[in-house]
Amino acid sequence: MQSMLAPLDASRRRRVVAAAAAAVAFAFLLVVLPGPTRNPGALGVAGAVGVLVVVLAASWRCSPVLARVGTPAAFIALVALLIDSGGGTSSGYGGLFLLPMLWLASLGSRQELVLGFLFVLLARALPLRIVGEPRYPSSAWRAAIVLGAVAVIACVTIQELLRHARVRGGQLAERAVALEQARAQLEEQNRQLRDLDRLKTEFLTLVSHQLRTPLTSIKGYLELLTGEDGEPLTPTQHRFLTTADRNADRLTTLVNDLLFLMQVDAGAIELHLAPTDIGELLHSTLASAAPAAAAKGVLLAQEGAGPVLALCDRGRIVQVVEGLLANAIKFTPAGGRIAVHGLRVVGGVEIAVSDTGIGIPPDEQEQLFDRFFRASSATSGVFPGTGLGLAIAQSIAEAHESRIVVESTPGRGSTFRLLLPAA
């Protein structure tokens, strides 16, 4: 049991000495109150014992056991002397016996507490037995038993509560250590992840740059072969070279998309904001997309007329609309319709691209703007793509402090909307 008692640090030791001194001072303060006969001799001895109480409490550093048990024992003797000097049972000092009991309940072991009870019992019983009437009438036995019982219950309860608190404290300390270890582990994992992320970015940048140069050269030679100045080609050769050219275009787009996203990650997207006529912007973008739409057999239409001015980076917004239009054309079957509008609405200028295409399953719409995500409706069909277009469009929207939102019904079509500040 003893070993379970935690050693006291310097500040608690100081508090313990202060508590002992305060208890002695309190006991002597009571002497000045009017009361029955005083025995100056016993009072003198009590004074010396009072000093001893404080000295014993102060000895904690050299001898914790002596301080823990000796201090309350001396205080019990002090109370007995004060009772005697104050005229016996009627002196009113009896309640002071609780103080050393509380001391042992909070600082001592269970055995030390029992020892304390025995001291108190002795200090109460001896005068009753030896000195007796009239200063120690037999009726005082009852008071002694009541005080003893109350002290036992209170002190044991206190000791149990403290024991629980210490156990919980220990558990909490263990938890804190475990949490600290987990935190350190997470920090290390975080560092490793950051390193990996940096490596990934460096790798992608390197690969993208390395791909760009040969791609430009491939494209150049393909153009020479298929161009008007090239040698005459057989229809099969022409078909092969056109396929190669188309795939070189796709690879160029992918490399450009990856490089663009790397710029986004590096926070290097610069916007040149200026009042922009969205009606005109949509008109010219629609014109560029017209051949692809015609080839697919879908109708392109612009809704709303007249200039609508928004504050944005024209080049970037063209990039967004081109991407949305390309998707709309790609995912709309022949005979379908694509409509765009740029409208002044509450809070700004809304750009919307709607189609009557295959739509997107509702449970996948939230991930649509994640990099490399392709909805099951796209992957289950024959739609080529990388899943980067919408991520790029969204990062451009975010750079404009906006967001692209989507509404879509599978089999019926989709609408992508973007709100820009009005100019």
First to last CA, the chain: 80
In this complex, which beta carbon is closest to ligand ADP, that of residue 189 or of residue 380? 380
In this complex, which beta carbon is closest to ligand ADP, that of residue 76 or of residue 378? 378
CB of 406 to ligand ADP, least distance (A): 8
**Encoded tokens for 301:** 């239409």
In this complex, which beta carbon is closest to ligand ADP, that of residue 160 or of residue 249? 249
Q: Which residues contact 392 (CB under 8 A, 6 or more apart)?
A: 257, 260, 261, 264, 319, 323
285 interacts with ligand ADP by CB under 6 A: no
CB of 337 to ligand ADP, least distance (A): 12
CB of 326 to ligand ADP, least distance (A): 7
- Kindly indicate which of the ranges 16-24, 118-126, 153-161, 350-358 contains the residues binding ligand ADP, using the contact rule CB under 6 A: 350-358
In this complex, which beta carbon is closest to ligand ADP, that of residue 116 or of residue 389? 389
Range 365-404, binding ligand ADP (CB under 6 A) = 368, 373-375, 377-378, 385-391
CB of 422 to ligand ADP, least distance (A): 26
414 interacts with ligand ADP by CB under 6 A: yes
Distance CA 128, CA 132 (A): 5
Name residue, tokens 């992608």: 204
328 interacts with ligand ADP by CB under 6 A: yes
Name residue, tokens 């108190």: 120
Q: Are strands 299-303 and 337-345 parallel, antiparallel or unpaired?
A: parallel
What is the dihedral angle through the alpha carbons of 160, 162, 164, 165, rounded to the nearest 10 degrees?
160
358 interacts with ligand ADP by CB under 6 A: yes
Distance CA 308, CA 370 (A): 31
261 interacts with ligand ADP by CB under 6 A: no
**Encoded tokens for 101:** 């009991």
Q: Which residues contact 307 (CB under 8 A, 6 or more apart)?
A: 277, 279, 280
In this complex, which beta carbon is closest to ligand ADP, that of residue 76 or of residue 352? 352
Chain contacts with ligand ADP (rule: CB under 6 A): 327-328, 331, 355, 357-360, 368, 373-375, 377-378, 385-391, 414
